[in-house]
Amino acid sequence: MQTFGTFLVSLVAASSALAASIPGTRIGTPAGTTSQRTNSVSIPAIRNPNFRAHGPLAQAKAHRKFGKPLPADLERVLSKIWSSKRDSGSVTASPRQQDTEYLCPVQIGSPAQTLPLDFDTGSSDLWVFSTDTPRSEVNGQTVYDASSSSSAKRLSGATWKISYGDGSSSSGIVYLDTVTVGGLTVSRQAVEAAKQVSSSFSRDTSSSGLLGLAFSSINTVSPNQQKTFFDNAMPHLDAPLFTADLKHNADGRYNFGYIDKSAYTGSISYTPVDNSQGFWGFTATVDGTDVTGIADTGTTLIYLPDSIVTSYYSQVSGARYDSSNAGYIFPCGSSMPDFSFNVGGGGGGGGTVTVPGSYVNFAPTDQTGQTCFGGLQSDSSIGISIFGDIALKAAFVVFDGGNKQLGWAAK
Ligand SMILES: Cc1noc(C)c1CN(C)Cc1cc2n(n1)CCN(c1cc(N)ncn1)C2
């Protein structure tokens, strides 16, 4: 069996023998060597340190070299190797405005245009500020220019329109273009260019749009619904999953296709996902009460049933629901209790995620800094419980699209 190293040496030996037999042939004297004779050279044979010897692949090379068909058993082995998935990606998630949102650099088009996007497991549109967005609505954001991308193709007749839980919205037209996240590339990804954005997006000068990571069933492109970046990438990934490792006031990371064992402690507790509404829906247990909600990186706070929220703030002196702030507030100097929930309970006890009390002290309600707004609020006006960034940044979370499950681990 010839390994690459041997192959390289034999190739070099052949050429220098050849050169020696043809007078005057000079194949160049490599740096560092001198030769008394005029028609001979000595070439170092450098072993390729990156080469990994592999029997079947070496067998295949030998058969191909001499034009021989591969034996059936070798064919079977190679087809398994060559069909194996081999893609993955890893990108930094940078917090903005006290962890209000997390932005990741995304490359779009050829040549690449890099835009900071909000990765949102609560929606399924990849939309961007673009040269199609009215100048009056662009406020310093980096915009996507499809006309500068040789790989951009307009998806004729396609439009999109999306509204979010906080009342913000955007809409526009659609291109197919090459999108790369952390080294993972999807060609012909639907890139939704905004022709209109609501004021909260215009004011958000650091974000150029969103990259949806919920299920493609709630993508808003019409008449032909489009797939999310993750859905398009999934068949090529080493594992059909991505992980979210968001942090408090610090850069975190989204990984695609693999689980970084150094990013969490203890074990990962898994729980089934209900994607019937297009979200990463799951059930957790809070103080013995089952809560069904969604894991949503695009929502800043945690929204849970009234009973749980009221019970939590009853532990904090001076905490109250304040209608002028439309939420629970408390004295900023309060020492907030930790907030825990259990995932994957079942017989094995599952795993407990503990949100430090300091995370629940979200932000002052005004410049005086006397009163602070809670990171845990009631879901009664939303109709669905949401485990947003305040909860997610307390854990290492596996979004497993292949097995429709969510994994939670401490970190
Ligand atoms: C958010 C946010 N909060 O303070 C700032 C600043 C921002 C960003 N900024 C105002 C603009 C904005 C509004 C939204 N986003 N970004 C992200 C998508 N939104 C979601 C996603 C989802 N899964 N669920 C609900 N809404 C609403």
- The string of pLDDT tens digits covering residues 222-260 is 999 999 999 999 999 999 999 999 999 999 999 999 999
191 by Cβ neighbours in 10 Å (0-12 / 13-18 / 19+) ranks as buried
Pocket test for ligand 1, best of 204, 381, 392 (most atoms within 8 A of CB): 204
* φ, ψ (nearest 5 deg) of residue 239: -140, 140
Alpha carbon of 337 to ligand 1 centroid (Å): 27
Whether pLDDT at 22 is above 60: no
Q: How confident is the model at residue 57 (pLDDT cuts 50, 70, 90)?
A: confident
The residues near 295 (Cβ < 8 Å, ≥ 6 apart) are: 121, 279, 280, 282, 387, 392, 397, 399, 406
| Cβ–ligand 1 contact at 89 (below 6 Å) | no
Task: Check if the interface score ipTM surpasses 0.90.
Answer: yes
Pocket test for ligand 1, best of 100, 168, 211 (most atoms within 8 A of CB): 168
Q: What is the pTM of this model?
A: 0.83
Whether pLDDT at 361 is above 90: yes
- Give pLDDT, residue 284: 98
Q: How confident is the model at residue 45 (pLDDT cuts 50, 70, 90)?
A: low
